[in-house]
Structure 1
Amino acid sequence: MATLNNEVKAFIVQALACFDTPSQVSAAVREEFGIEVPRQKCEAHDPTKRAGRDLAKRWVTLFEDTRKRFREETADIPIANRAYRLRAMNRFVERAEKTKNIGLAMQILEQAAKEAGDMYVNRQKKADADDEPVVPTAVSVHVIDARKRDAEPERSPG
């Protein structure tokens, strides 16, 4: 395999900084540049991984800058905003009700209740007894799979 030019390396580093997996990056390089790059070689351009520990300073700086910008720009994406998602769900519920699709409307309403009730946020508010300010605290989440049974069913003799 030939060495990669700087344009391809920059593409790989920036894609990895945007949390694409090495497999996704490998496929994107094949599509964008027509070059086969194994996922292991892509992973070597991620300074957060062991394979990328010896990455040149230039690429580490590009990675860090891109990741920082990516995280900051997430706020500019409408769907990342709770109010936007709730407004969209409201439109969907109204459309489902007009078409008499009550099942879909109920699913959307349940989703909206989860969204509004912080079900997808891993924190809860806790007030101190001395009326100190409300402080978010971490919460562990325990998921119960209703399809699994804890014990074997009892068998009737006979």
Structure 2
Amino acid sequence: MAALKGEVRTFIVQSLACFDTPSQVVDAVKKEFELSVSRQQVESHDPTKAAGRNLAKKWVDMFNTTRSRFQTEVSDIPIANKAYRLRVLDRMATNAEKMKNLGMTAQLLEQAAKEVGDVYTNRQKLEHSGQVVQSISSLMDELAKE
């Protein structure tokens, strides 16, 4: 196994920290640096794997920093933004309609409606009427009387 230059190792560690698979990293290194590395060599740069248990502290720290930034900075990823997703769906629906693909257009419109209605989030909308509050108040009054 040939020793890798610092910039290649940095690239590998950061790619793995961003949840790229070793196979994806091998392909990316070949494309970016015109260098062939093995999956095993790449995997040895992942401190979460057994192969990376002896990775130097410098690389482990870089991995952990990159991973935490990757997980918290979702706003840097366009598809994570609702407005961006709606714009893409709008373009796709327009193109599908131009091609007279009505089935696809209907599916895209449904997906956009779900997106707007927060179907794809884990938030729940709670609606209540004053009647429930009144019932709770009267129940509390009855309990206080006893």
Cα deviation for residue 117 of structure 1 reads 4.4
Cα deviation for residue 64 of structure 1 reads 1.5
- Percent of aligned pairs sharing the same letter: 59
The amino acid of 1:27's aligned partner reads: D
Cα deviation for residue 21 of structure 1 reads 0.5
Matched residue, 1:151: none
Matched residue, 1:48: 48
Alpha-carbon distance between aligned partners in 1 of 2:23 and 2:96, rounded to the nearest angstrom: 38
Alpha-carbon distance between aligned partners in 1 of 2:11 and 2:88, rounded to the nearest angstrom: 34
Alpha-carbon distance between aligned partners in 1 of 2:92 and 2:33, rounded to the nearest angstrom: 40
Alpha-carbon distance between aligned partners in 1 of 2:2 and 2:96, rounded to the nearest angstrom: 55
Where structure 2 has 5 or more consecutive residues not aligned to the other structure, the ranges are 134-146
Matched residue, 1:76: 76
User: SS of 2:3's equivalent?
Assistant: coil
Bigger Cα displacement from structure 2, 86-95 vs 43-52: 86-95
User: SS of 1:54's equivalent?
Assistant: coil
After TM superposition, list the pairs within 5 Å mapping 1:96-111 onto structure 2: 96-111=96-111
Bigger Cα displacement from structure 2, 58-67 vs 111-120: 111-120
Higher relative contact order (CA 8 A, sep 6+): 2
> What is the TM-score with the length of structure 2 in the denominator?
0.72
> What is the TM-score with the length of structure 1 in the denominator?
0.67
Higher fraction of strand: 1
Deviations 1:95-137 (A, max 9, x none): 433553312211211322343444444x35386x998xxxxxx
| Greater gyration radius | 2
Q: How many residues align?
A: 129
Higher fraction of helix: 2
Would you identify which runs of 4 or more consecutive aligned residues in structure 1 move more than 6 Å? none
